[in-house]
């Protein structure tokens, strides 16, 4: 039979935790580059360079459609947002810095909540 989940990553609290973490990301002052999908028609090169676009509104939709198995698959998509940002933006740029700030904030929050 299936083993009992031992950590918040796997147990039934995983998805409410994801919704709470996403709400905190959306409320962060540096969230503005990540709130909605990049308009790849308006941004030269984006569609070619970024193979898997992701943003907070798409993550919210996927949560609502029960498309995340657990906290782990949710964290993979959040990290995709920040990895895409690092790929497309200089570290020393407004959006690049926002991405680093948001990743640092997210890493701290989910590790705190999992303790």
Size of the site for ligand Y6M (CB under 6 A): 8
CB of residue 105 vs ligand Y6M: minimum separation in angstroms? 17
Q: What ranges in 1-115 are assigned the alpha helix state H?
A: 14-27, 46-49, 56-64, 71-88, 94-114
Q: Which is nearer to ligand Y6M, 95 or 113 (CB)?
A: 95
Q: Answer yes or no whether residue 43 interacts with ligand Y6M by CB under 6 A.
A: yes
Q: Answer yes or no whether residue 54 interacts with ligand Y6M by CB under 6 A.
A: no
Q: Answer yes or no whether residue 33 interacts with ligand Y6M by CB under 6 A.
A: yes
Instruction: Give the C-alpha separation, 100 to 85, whole Å.
Output: 9
Nearest Cα to Cα of residue 21 among 4, 39, 33, 9: 9
């Amino acid at each position: 039979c299936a083993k009992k989940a031992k950590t918040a990553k796997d147990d039934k609290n995983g998805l409410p935790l994801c919704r709470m973490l996403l709400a905190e990301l959306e409320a962060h002052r540096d969230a503005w580059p990540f709130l909605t999908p990049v308009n790849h028609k308006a941004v030269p090169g984006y569609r070619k360079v970024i193979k898997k676009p992701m943003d907070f509104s798409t993550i919210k939709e996927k949560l609502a459609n029960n498309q995340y198995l657990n906290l782990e698959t949710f964290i993979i998509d959040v990290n995709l947002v920040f990895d895409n940002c690092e790929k497309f933006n200089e570290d020393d740029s407004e959006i690049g810095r926002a991405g680093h700030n948001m990743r640092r904030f997210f890493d701290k929050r989910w590790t705190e909540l999992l303790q």
